[in-house]
Each structure stands twice: as C-alpha cells, then as structure tokens.
Structure 1
Amino acid sequence: MTTEQQDRPAAAPHGLDLSVTSGLTRYSAQHGGLTLTSVFQPVFSLSHMRAVGYEGLLRAHDALDRNVSAADVFGGAARVGEALQVDRLTQALHLENFALLGAEREWLFLNVHPGTLIESYNTAALLANLRRLNIAPRRVVLEVLEEEGTDLEALAHAIDAFRARGFLVALDDFGAGNLDIGRVWQLNPDIVKLDRIMLLHAQQRADRAATLPALVALLHDAGKLVLIEGVETEHEAQLALACNADFVQGQFFARPAPGLADAAHAQAVIADATERFRQQTETRERGTTNRLAPYLRAFERAAERLSAGEPLEEVCWNFLALDHAARCYLLDANGRQAGRNVVLRVDRAERDARFLPLEDAQGASWLRRPYFRAALVAPGHAHVTGPYLSINEALPCVTISIAVQVGERMGVLCGDVDWHEGEEAVG
C-alpha cells in the first residue's frame, strides 16, 4: 500500500463498510439482504508475461454465508427496476477495493451497464468517484455489454465522450451471441473481449480453430486489441497463443482473488506455455517442410523445363503425379492466366459438378493473389502460400509459384496442392 493510501481517512463512503479479512482490507456493501464485495481477475499480456490489468468481479453472500452468483444479483435487480442502482453500487465497490490493491500502473476493467454511460447522472457519479480516489480515467477500461433494447447510436456517442475524457473502452463477450462485426465498427472500442465460447468452438472443430486467428487478425486490422477470456486449460492457452491474441484472462493463468496476482507465478506459467508453443510450432514447421519437399522439387524442375521451352502440359506431369497435387497453370506478367488449368489425374477430371462454372480459368486474372505478387518479387525462387480457400472447389489448398522466363516474356508458373484438415500449416 502506498503512503497516499495509508493516509486516506478510514471512514467508508456512504453505503460501504470497511473490514479486514485474512489480512486484507476490503470494502463491502449490503443490498437486498446480501453482502457484496469485490475480487479481481488479472488480465495478462502474453508478450509482457505479466498482469496489465484487473477486472473487478462481484461476489455476493446471503445471510447464511451462501454464495449467490453475480448473474442472480443483477437479474434480481433488473426484475425490480434496480439494475442501474446495483450497477452504480458495484462500480463504487470495485473502485474502492481497486484503490486498496496497491496497483500502480495496471488498468481496472470495470463492467458498466450501457445506461451508466448514456445517462448523465450515472456518468457524473462515476467521474466523482474517480476524482475522490485519485484514479486517472486512463487507468480504467469500461467493459460494455450490449443489452437488449440499447440505443446503439446513443451508446456510440457516449463511448466517444468517455474516450475523449481518457477512458479505454472494451466490448465484452464478443461471439457469445451473434458474431456481429458491425457492432465493433459502430461502437469503436479499444479492446474486444472474445468470449470463452469461441475457445470451446475452436476445440471442437479444426476449421473453427483455423478461423480464430483470422478473426483476431481482422480485429487487429480494425485497430482493436484482442483479449481472450475464460482460458482454463493448457490447450486453450495454446489456442490463445496461436491466434496472436494480445491479452488473456482465465483460471489457467490466475483465479479471481481479493489481492494482486502472484507476478512470479504468472510469469512462469506464461513462459512455460510460450516455450511449449515454440516447440510445437517448430515441430509443425518441420513437418510442413518435409511434406512439401517432394512437391517443391518436382515444381522447381517443371519451372526449369518450362523456361527451356518445353510445353506446360508436359513439364507438370511429375508434379501432378504426386498424391495431393491439384493443378498447374501459367500466368503472364499481368496476372492473366494463359490457357486452361493442367489437370492430369482422373479424379480431378471428374470434379464436383456444382463448381462447373469455375472450371474454365483461361484468361482469368489472378493479379490480386499473393502467390503472383510474391513470385514477381523474387524471380526464379519458389514461393509457398499459407493455406487458403481455393476458388476452384472451395477447398483448402496451398499454392507454389515461381516467376520464370517463358520465351521472351516473364511468366509465373503456379501449382496448387490440396491441404486437408489436420495437415501441418504452411508458413
């Protein structure tokens, strides 16, 4: 505890009681026959390997000292029209207890009802508490959960006003209901919290696990930091690391507690998980390299023969004879396809009739494709894409490409390789 905190008057704010339990000084409050108090769950930066914030969580006990869930507390308050009153009381409780923590730089993640942000009376109460406790707005992350019937336009305007005062804003429970990226654009939060349900989905199906990094990348492109909450297992921690999340929160790293996180323990947990991630990544990359080696050798030989003047249909035979090779095609210097796809395997000729309109790619422009641009940057060197969805059959593939001299002009030879579910990723 800092000297400033020790010098604060012992008198509790109106409605709050100060007590010492297990050596910790904490505020509590009474409401509806329940005793309410705070615990704090750390928010960790995976890169910094330490807590960068604490989310205030409500704990409630009845007269017989039985636990009452926060959902029941707020649900009961909503039924009798006291949702905002309990929201204000909870905020005051978390602010008082956060001030006692002794955290010097970390954020306080504070859950707020949308009405607290929209209505001026509630806003004034929050700001007054911060001034009294000498907590700068820049240290508070307002966690907003969209409620049914919320005026989104008014909420977006309020969020802008709070951000202008120095607050950070987080959109809570993203993905728990409908995954609406439009809400991110409309409310423009600084941080998006992915709900635990996203991790559960990612564990059930490989395609969903592959989507999670893309979702994080999309949010990053939109200028949002990403926090994954509810990380409870080693596997879920590895998913969070793999998808490049900025922050994590969950029992795997630290349980909610009245005091600060054990910094040494947290650093050790994150460091161990990161080391396992490194080992797994290197093993996966070695497997990918070994898997692609025969395709690369055959493809590089095909490029040499093509540059020497042999026809495309003949040079691709060895490449297309490999198990998962799908097709070869040649692009000109402007990304236009010269001729049809070369497909030599019988099962490729009998393709899914639903995609028949895409069969003839002669003259198609693949200028936008990364494999075309990457090949032109380093002529003569093979480039391999990461897995992506092929337009030919709407199935995952990787593409090998090499820019070669074909006669008097530069061309880009391309070859697609099917990339089935469960195969190693390609970097």
Structure 2
Amino acid sequence: MTIAQQERTTAAPHGFEVSVTSGLERYSVRHGDLELTSVFQPIFSLSHMRAVGYEGLLRAHDALDRPVSPLDVFGQAARIGDVLQVDRLAQALHLENFKVLGAEKEWLFLNVHPGALTDPYHAAALLANLRRLDLSPRRIVLEVLEQRAEDLERLADAVRKFRELGFLIALDDFGAGHSNVERIWQLNPDIVKLDRIMLSHAAHRADMATILPGLVALLHEAGKLVLIEGVETEHEAQMALGCNADFVQGFFFGRPNPGAADSAQAVICISEVTERYRDQTEARERRNASRLAPYIRAFERAAERLAAGELLDEVCWNFLALDHAARCFLLDEKGRQAGRNVVLRADRASHETRFLPLADAQGANWLRRPYFRAAINAPDRVHVTRPYLSINEALPCVTLSVVTHVGEQTCVLCGDIDWVEE
C-alpha cells in the first residue's frame, strides 16, 4: 500500500480498505463473511450526450470470492433486523468510492431504505460523511426505494427536510410494486425513475408504447424530471428518445463499472442512436403523409362542394368510401355540432352500437378539441391532428378539419380517420 493509500484509508471510516483493480483504486469493507465494494452505473442526459450522474451499486463476494447478489445481502440483513446498518454501510462505501472516482460535477444517486430516511442517526451519519469528504448535499440524489412505507406522512416529512438541506430526491422504480401517482404528490420528488418493466411492456405492446410518452408528459407537467432505467437494446433507446425522457440508464448506454464513464464513447453512442431516431421519425412522417394524401384530397373536395351549396350527407361520400374513414360532422363557429355524424358504412354503424349513448352528437360542443381551434386560428388550409382517442368508440383516430361556409355561416367541416400505427 502506498503512502497516499494509507492516508486515504486512515481518513475513511473504520474497517475500510483501499485496493487497486485494473489500475483503479476503490474502497471495500468486510461485513460478516462478505467483502463489500461499489460499482457505478452512469446516468446519461440524452440532450447533453454525457453522463450527468452515477448510481452507486453494491457488489459483494463471500469468503471463497464468489459473487453474492445485493438482493441476498439485503434479504439476509432484513431477516436478522440489520437492514438499516447495511444500508448506512453501503452509502458510506459509495461515498468513499465516488470521491475516488473523481467526478467533478455529476450527481451520485444513492439508494435509500425508507426506514433509514426517517432515522435521525442515519441523517447525521450521512451529513458527517459528506463534510469529511467535502461533498455538497447538492451532489447527492437520494433514491427513495419503491416499497411499502409504514408511515408515509413521516417519510414525506423526512424527505422534505433532506431537500431543505440541498439533497435532490428521486422516486425509484415508479410503475412497479407500491408505486402510484399519489406517492408522487406525497413525496414531491425532483426526479422520477420509471421502472424497467414499463419500458419492457412498451417495447412489446402497442398500447403501452402509446401510453409511455403520455406518462412522461404528465410527469413533466407535474414538474418532475424523468429517468428511464433498464435500457438494454437500441429499440428501447429509441423509445426513450421518442417519449422525451430526460435521462437514461442501462446496459445499452453503460454498464456498472468501478470507474467513470467513457465520455467520448457516450457521445458516439447517443449521437448514433439519435441520428437513427431522426431518420426513422422522418421516414414515418413520409409514410403518414402518403397515407393521408387521398383522405385530404377527398376532404378538400367535400369542403368545396359544401361551400357550393350541396348537402353534408352528399359531399362526404367520396371521403367516407376510403378504407379507414370513420365519420364526417359539421361544427358552427362556436364549436357546436350541427346535425348528426355522417357515417356511410353499415359495419361501422353496427360497431358503434356498443357506444350507443354517444351516437347522437347533435348539439355537442367540441370547442375544446384541437381540430376545432386549429381550423378557426388558421382557416385557409386543412389541419390534421395527432393521433388521439376518439370519444365515439374509444379507438385511436386522427381528425381532418377546415373552415368552410354554408350560406353566410362560418363552419368547420371535420372528418375522422381510424388510425393504427403501421
């Protein structure tokens, strides 16, 4: 051991040792018959294209140098009532190794058992370690583990006090276990980490793939940054980009490692996946434009004929004859529907009987709908909405809309198209 290593070991908590593996120094400590140490998984900002933080992860080996799962370490600690002590030990270990890591600006994400947050001794020990290592609380993100808390009010009060000291708060594993939206209001985290199970479902189910961007948008509206964890494939990385996540974590971008992330490799990886995402998005937009073209042409012709004095039921036939056209309807200048929906196909009329209470839309007010507002604000062209859920039969659709005139009245002609992503 060098003199510098001896000095660092002397300054570290009792029992900590410095070892060198592959040229990297790191601390370890014995707990029972286990040797514990740290690795760090980088957390990347997709916009900055670099690591902005590291999550400290526990690694354990038994007396025969066989790896032991961290779940087993904490499981055994829980069985003997030692979980808070192991939690504090792991945090102290991660702090020592994070200091050795040499990160100058990045956050350290620390997993924290809810019981440890409400323990005054834990708070005092954590602050003492930070002072000794000259680390600001603003460099630390406390990850509140997603599990049942016996006293949520007490936990929320503890979280508030840590935040007042400068710590950031992350809610871990959202979307699994005991997580729900109410927990976000109770704990008011700065960052919400979406559990890998949500990303996995979205990668294999079209309905979940549609929900994920909406969930991220909801969390953003609530003032929370969003981190998607468990990104392991390029497809999942593309989904994280597509749903506008702020941060990503996972094997695709960087594996847990004793050392810091390779910044040059991170730029290359994120740049390449972003470039492919852009190419795929542009290709999808071209396909959608081609797909919509015949509907728009038929819809424009219907608006012209309506303005020329023909009846709504007659002008919509060519539009409604197209494969996925659903209905046409007419709104007045205040968004109220004049007349019933015009539906051409008998099979659609039969299908809509499941939603019979919604079938008669005469007099309904669609003032709030984006298709009405877009048409009124820019009356010189046909507008196409983003896909959304139609209230008529709870199916995805897009709506075309354009301002036209019936006699002397300003109206908005609308046409719905069933929309399934191809």
TM-score (norm 2): 0.96
Aligned partner of 1:55 in structure 2 is: 55
1:47-126 alignment to 2 at 5 Å?
47-126=47-126
Unaligned runs of 5+ in 2: none
The structural deviation recorded for 1:311 is 1.5
Q: 1:106 to 1:149 in 2, by over 3 A?
A: closer
Aligned partner of 2:358 in structure 1 is: 358
Aligned partner of 2:158 in structure 1 is: 158
> 2:56 and 2:349 mapped to 1: Cα distance?
60
1:335-387 CA distances to partner (integer Å, 9 max, x unpaired)? 11000001112222323422111111000111111111111110121111111
Q: 1:37 to 1:6 in 2, by over 3 A?
A: closer
Contact 2:148–2:178 (8 Å) recurs in 1:
no
Contact 1:400–1:416 (8 Å) recurs in 2:
yes
Q: 1:294 to 1:188 in 2, by over 3 A?
A: same
Contact 1:114–1:150 (8 Å) recurs in 2:
no
SS of 1:337 mapped into structure 2: coil
> 1:154 and 1:237 mapped to 2: Cα distance?
37
The structural deviation recorded for 1:393 is 0.9
1:314 equivalenced with 2:333 (yes/no): no
Aligned partner of 1:281 in structure 2 is: 281
SS of 1:95 mapped into structure 2: helix
Aligned partner of 1:26 in structure 2 is: 26
Aligned partner of 1:419 in structure 2 is: 419
- Aligned amino acid, residue 182 of structure 1: E
Unaligned runs of 5+ in 1: none
Contact 2:326–2:348 (8 Å) recurs in 1:
yes
Q: How many residues align?
A: 418
Aligned partner of 2:253 in structure 1 is: 253
User: Which is further off, 200-209 or 71-80?
Assistant: 200-209
The structural deviation recorded for 1:8 is 6.6
Aligned partner of 2:229 in structure 1 is: 229
The structural deviation recorded for 1:178 is 5.1
SS of 1:231 mapped into structure 2: coil
- Aligned amino acid, residue 363 of structure 1: G
Q: 1:315 to 1:7 in 2, by over 3 A?
A: farther
Give me the CA root mean square deviation: 1.5
> 1:27 and 1:261 mapped to 2: Cα distance?
19
> 2:100 and 2:349 mapped to 1: Cα distance?
71
The structural deviation recorded for 1:317 is 1.3
1:251-297 CA distances to partner (integer Å, 9 max, x unpaired)? 11111000101111111111111111011001100000000001111
SS of 1:170 mapped into structure 2: strand
Contact 2:146–2:179 (8 Å) recurs in 1:
no
Aligned partner of 2:404 in structure 1 is: 404
TM-score (norm 1): 0.95
1:309-388 alignment to 2 at 5 Å?
309-388=309-388
Contact 2:43–2:53 (8 Å) recurs in 1:
yes
Contact 1:380–1:404 (8 Å) recurs in 2:
no
User: Which is further off, 232-241 or 342-351?
Assistant: 342-351
SS of 1:99 mapped into structure 2: helix
Give me the identity figure in percent. 73
> 1:308 and 1:182 mapped to 2: Cα distance?
55
SS of 1:260 mapped into structure 2: coil
> 1:104 and 1:283 mapped to 2: Cα distance?
41
1:165-180 alignment to 2 at 5 Å?
165-177=165-177, 180=180
The structural deviation recorded for 1:154 is 1.0
Aligned partner of 1:395 in structure 2 is: 395
The structural deviation recorded for 1:13 is 1.8
1:232-268 CA distances to partner (integer Å, 9 max, x unpaired)? 1111111111111110001111110001011111111
1:29-40 alignment to 2 at 5 Å?
29-40=29-40
The structural deviation recorded for 1:9 is 4.4
- Aligned amino acid, residue 278 of structure 2: R
